[in-house]
């Protein structure tokens, strides 16, 4: 089931890269391994993705943190403002996550909702096992309709 949820401000800390789409399949598992090997004490992991330029993606693999959390060496802190998202619970192999995001985009298009380029994927675990994921696509503000 796809639903609209309002997420609060999120503080994310992790490793960030920018790469072409075709390189992500090789780079992302290595970045996750690096994060899981770091001694952060984190238990809630996510991937934050955006497409700042055609065909290139900015990815952060990290964890949710309090605003006062110290940033470990080599990591980046990313502050995401509160906003609405489309959400889908996905269960299946990691290789199917992209199709889950496509379902969200197709739903938005069919229902006339405007999406941004920000995506969130909660549910990663050490070992990159096939676990339940929460996929989110940011919604853009809808224009006011005057009647």
Residue range 69-108, pLDDT digits in tens:
999 999 999 999 999 999 999 999 988 999 999 999 999 9
Q: How confident is the model at residue 117 (pLDDT cuts 50, 70, 90)?
A: confident
DSSP 8-state secondary structure symbol assigned to residue 38: S
CATH of the domain at 11: 3.20.80.10
Q: Work out the average pLDDT over 114-142.
A: 91
pTM above 0.85, yes or no: yes
pLDDT at residue 143 in the model: 64
Tokens of 112: 């006339």
Domain that holds residue 92: 2-124
Residue 71 lies in a domain: yes
Q: Is the pLDDT of residue 44 over 70?
A: yes
Residue 145 lies in a domain: no
Q: How many domains does the chain have?
A: 1
Q: Is the pLDDT of residue 52 over 80?
A: no
CA–CA separation, 67 and 145 (whole Å): 37
User: Hey, how many other C-beta atoms are within 10 angstroms of the C-beta on 110?
Assistant: 8
Residue 90 lies in a domain: yes
Residue 52 lies in a domain: yes
Residue 58 lies in a domain: yes
pLDDT at residue 129 in the model: 86
Residue 93 lies in a domain: yes
% of the chain residues with pLDDT over 90: 71
Residue 129 lies in a domain: no
Taking all residues of the chain, what is their mean pLDDT, rounded to a whole number?
91
Residue 54 lies in a domain: yes
β-pair partners for 48: 60, 120
CA–CA separation, 104 and 89 (whole Å): 11
């Amino acid at each position: 089931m796809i639903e609209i949820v309002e997420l609060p401000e999120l503080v994310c800390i992790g490793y960030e890269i920018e790469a072409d789409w075709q390189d992500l399949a090789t780079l992302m598992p290595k970045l996750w391994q690096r994060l899981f090997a770091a001694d952060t004490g984190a238990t809630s992991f996510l991937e934050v993705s955006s497409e700042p330029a055609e065909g290139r993606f900015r990815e952060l693999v990290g964890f949710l943190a309090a605003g006062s959390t110290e940033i470990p060496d080599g990591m980046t802190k990313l502050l995401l403002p509160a906003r609405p998202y489309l959400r889908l619970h996905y269960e299946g192999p990691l290789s199917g996550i992209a199709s889950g995001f496509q379902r969200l985009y197709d739903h938005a298009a069919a229902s006339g909702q405007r999406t941004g380029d920000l995506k969130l994927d909660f549910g990663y675990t050490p070992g990159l096992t096939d676990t339940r994921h929460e996929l989110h696509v940011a919604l853009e503000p809808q224009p006011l309709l005057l009647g």
